[in-house]
Structure 1
């Protein structure tokens, strides 16, 4: 045993000695050791090791961010009288958003890419290469936004940070696209797993969101990374920081109709949440060139909302926990509504308005310059909606209403509909509450909400614009592959030009000495005139008819479609299907002929990419 260790050590020293002769890049001891290990083990073994390292790194980032925000909010609002808390709610959200916008503008060169959609775009368009700065920028920006009361969550920034860690790790060790994408997804899974102490939910998130449209068989590194993230949060974070709900009621199958009704409510609310987000985003887009003005405006509106409805301040998990523990009166006492009263009607009105305004508060935070995500807002809104639904049923005289369970499954319902991720929502709540006996109501509510939102839009509206441009992968495998094919790679290299001034003898001579079936006709200014096909010239080529008195301009025909450089390969494919031809002309903006796009070249490139993605 000792002899084997000695041999390995000598091997490493020799490798290090040879390696440092390459001065183009510096490596530290750990990196040198990992490069040496990668040459001593199989690909699968190195990916498992990579999954552990990425999982621990991404999990650590998630834990640090959660602790950072927890202590900021504890410091600025702990045990403060109502008047002081209202003052905090009226000032700090605006400070947080403005400070975040300032940091983005002056320290990160205006890089506002902060959503999961941009990670999906990096996978599709940049070969899963995420900017190095994303490994730390999201922690800083979201920590300030949420810590100072921004009405968003930390989970999306944690997932983006984890993705950046996985991607840059893979880039450092020169791993291929599939390995790079796998470790990117592993980092995101570890981040979500650490944030919620829910490893299965982290894995589901990676498959439902990050790896959409991609096929992987070697997913063990992703599982290991998620486990590592969950273990870190379990060891380091305490119950006050973790998203954890243990007490619940036993599931009774006679309550199925309650859950069906809640499924419809959460589905409609999720749609409302998404539509509000789009409308608010359009409003703030007017101020794109005035970053700080936009931040001050959005921060001021958010501060006013937080003063009127304090549960909108920050992530909102503490408010859900307060209601979950049966202390809903504390929310009323901590707001201006205390001066109106705390009757059942006041409670329902207060919480209903909070639910409706949560969509605005979250959208304003994100659109005006804050950094965060929709995980926490959807969970908070869903929990409140479940409580209001159950509490209303109790007031109307219904018996045995499982209000606690309705709160839990309500969280899953809104999250499922708003994020188009039903499996993530189901397992997140099941793991966070140890409520595996609630799988049936969780599935009923989550699936109902998901189906309702899919009926409005088959693709998550947050990703729709990028999906239509072909900038991200979708569940349509053909479209994913075609989006990676360039028109320039599909030009027939043997394209031949004929001029309108050429004689028919010259044209027939060209066709007789070429294997091309179509040739482009251009005028004296090189502008496209039309197309000549071998089929048209067949009588002349076989000497069945005389070409005397016939000109090129008389025979040239307009093609069924003309391709422009801005057309996508997906659009070109539809043109070929409709026209049922094998070549179509590509013209620039000045109608200059650039070549024939070949249908067979598209098919060849498609097969090559399909083989690469399937290996």
Structure 2
């Protein structure tokens, strides 16, 4: 009996060793892929956005060019299969016999990059999530002992990718818990914990700075009622985003030929980007300008901000429906920033509320993201990660929860859980 128990103990120790090693590999590969995609996208998006600002006629070419390239890549290089976003991960984790094929890594990497750098109004976050999930899926296929840990290893890839993108290990793990797997095991915490630590260590070695680095922040208790209002508005706005995605997906699915989708989609994108260049790509350049703006609310600024809030969900949905690669991660952060900016400036200009616009921009980002993906704790730590500041932790927590439950009250589904199979 002692020899049998010793064999079992040694077998368990060997499995533990293998899980530790594979988690390190997944963490490094996933985070390296995520950082590479983020850096390359930032570099080329900045170049092409600057070019289009000086030569607006390029906006007539960029969308149709990018959507056409993605179409031909999909047809002739990536087995003719469209990317379905995070739904692909759900399908794989729920079905023991399905796995994410290797080509999903270059498919999402290349298509996500091309979509955003040429003005597609989305971000590379969802492309990164699926690509890094594929790394975990491949790892579990290589060893029989890993088969029963498929969800954990896929989650490790996703957690490392999110950590690399936003600089927050907590956001990485919580995203997997709230959105991907929704279950915890000892193996989950082992694999995902190791993966995000490796990712965070890589960020440290590369001296990566927060996306929207902010140092000196403060908030006042008298702003709490206005924060609550922002949470409610964010929840309502997220439902609008979800409905836009559903409507555009269904509408474009009715078109018989793919080139109709490309032409109509690129026409809508070109016109929107021409009049509102803030909508170009992931929109982070516009959010950075917003964070450092000090101007008062004018009628022109009010109307342009309202137009941005109205159009952003539409052209994001059009980008995805016409063949672009991405999701609602970056658009939710973008919409939340402008929603917070608008509310704060209206309160200050017309009601003398004396609130701090910067706080509303930051909280708005987290609130709309929380409501859009029904993940308040992910959104909380993600926004703290991208700002490098935890001063607003308590109001962020409260508003994220208000936004989520407002959204669920108005419409119980989000873009990841809606019934129509055409949704991304």
How does the TM-score come out when normalised to structure 2? 0.91
CA contact (8 A) 2:30 2:158 kept: yes
Deviation for aligned residue 1:303: 1.2
**CA distance, structure 2, for counterparts of residue 81 and residue 162 of structure 1:** 31
- How far apart, in 2, do the equivalents of 1:459 and 1:237 lie? 39
Report what 2:185 is aligned to.
216
- Pairs within 5 Å for 1:157-196: 157-196=127-166
SS in 2 for 1:361: helix
Question: Cα distance, 1:439 vs. partner?
Answer: 1.6
CA deviation map 1:114-144 (0-9, x unaligned): 3101210111124462111112211011111
8 A contact 2:48–2:117 mirrored in 1: no
User: What is the CA deviation profile of residues 434-483 of structure 1, one whole-angstrom value per residue up to 9, with x for unaligned ones?
Assistant: 3323122111211111001111343435323279xxxxxxxxxxxxxxxx
Q: Tell which deviates more after alignment, 307-316 or 227-236.
A: 227-236
Aligned to 1:395: 349
Structure 1's consecutive aligned runs of 4 or more residues displaced over 6 angstroms after TM superposition are none
Q: Distance in 2 between matches of 1:81 and 1:156?
A: 25
Report deviation, 1:275: 0.7
Deviation of the 1:90 alpha carbon = 3.1
> 2:217–2:391: 8 Å Cα contact kept in structure 1?
no
Q: In the alignment, what sits opposite 2:7?
A: none
Q: Which residue of 2 aligns with 1:62?
A: 34
Residue 540 of structure 1: aligned partner: none
* Partner-residue secondary structure (3-state), 2:418: helix
Q: Which residue of 2 aligns with 1:455?
A: 409
Which range is displaced more, 223-232 or 136-145? 223-232
- Which structure 2 residues correspond to residues 248-327 of structure 1 after superposition, within 5 A? 249-287=217-255, 289-326=256-293
Corresponding residue for residue 197 of structure 2? 227
Q: Map Cα deviations across residues 375-421 of structure 1 (whole Å, 9 max, x no partner).
A: 11000110011011101111114243121011001001100111111
Larger radius of gyration: 1
> Does residue 9 of structure 2 align to residue 45 of structure 1?
no
User: Aligned ranges for residues 465-614 of structure 1 at < 5 Å?
Assistant: 465=419
2:312 maps to which of 358, 366, 369: 358
Bigger mean CA offset, 371-380 vs 41-50: 41-50
Task: Give the 3 Å change call, closer, same or farther, for CA 437–107 of structure 1 in structure 2.
Answer: same
Structure-2 residue corresponding to 1:112:
82
Partner of 1:579: none
Task: Describe the shift of the 1:131–1:318 C-alpha distance in structure 2 as closer, same or farther (beyond 3 A).
Answer: same
Q: Which residue of 2 aligns with 1:570?
A: none
Equivalence for 2:44? 72
- C-alpha contact (below 8 Å) 2:62/2:118 kept by paired residues: yes
Please report how far the alpha carbon of residue 42 of structure 1 lies from its aligned counterpart in structure 2 after TM superposition. Answer: 2.4
**What SS does the aligned partner of 1:114 have?**
coil
Q: What is the CA–CA distance in structure 1 between the aligned matches of 2:231 and 2:92, rounded to whole Å?
A: 34
Who is 2:375 aligned against? 421
Residue 137 of structure 1: aligned partner: 107
Preserved contact between residue 115 and residue 157 of structure 1 (Cα < 8 Å): yes
Listed one character per residue, the Cα deviations across residues 63-113 of structure 1 (whole Å, up to 9, x for unaligned) are 1111221221233233x58441x2233321222122112211221122113
Deviations 1:158-209 (A, max 9, x none): 0101100011011012334432211100001111111111111011101111
Is the CA contact 2:30–2:132 (under 8 Å) kept in the aligned structure 1?
yes
CA displacement at 1:145 relative to structure 2: 0.6
Cα displacement (A) at 1:268:
0.5
Partner of 1:244: 212
Task: Pick one of 115, 119, 124 that aligns with 1:149.
Answer: 119
Q: Name the structure, 1 or 2, with higher relative contact order (CA <8 Å, separation 6+).
A: 2
Structure 1 CA distance, aligned partners of 2:12 and 2:91? 34
Query: 2:155 & 2:287 partners in 1: Cα distance?
Result: 30
**Using the alignment, how far apart are the partners of 1:40 and 1:273 within structure 2?**
47
Question: Relative to structure 2, which stretch is displaced further, 412-421 or 120-129?
Answer: 120-129
Q: In 2 relative to 1, CA 238–254 (structure 1 residues): closer, same or farther, beyond 3 Å? A: same
Structure 1: distance between partners of 2:105 and 2:54: 39
Shift of 1:220: 1.7
- 1:100 aligns to 2:70 (yes or no): yes
Q: Is contact 2:31-2:164 (8 Å) kept? A: yes
Aligned residues: 411
TM-score under structure 1 length normalisation: 0.64
CA distance in 2, matches of 1:74, 1:463: 33
Counterpart Cα distance in 2 of 1:327 and 1:81: 26
Given the superposition, is the C-alpha separation of residues 64 and 427 from structure 1 closer, same or farther in structure 2, using an over 3 Å criterion?
same
> In 2, Cα distance between the equivalents of 1:343 and 1:215?
47
Secondary structure of residue in 2 paired with 1:464: coil
Give the aligned partner of residue 393 of structure 2. Answer: 439
From the superposition, tell whether residues 238 and 176 of structure 1 become closer, same or farther in structure 2 (CA, over 3 Å): closer
Distance 1:199 1:144, change over 3 A: same
What is the RMSD computed on CA atoms of the aligned residues? 2.2
Q: Aligned partners of 2:16 and 2:268: how far apart in 1?
A: 52
> What CA distance in whole angstroms lies between the structure 1 residues aligned with 2:275 and 2:310?
13
Name the structure with the higher helix share: 2
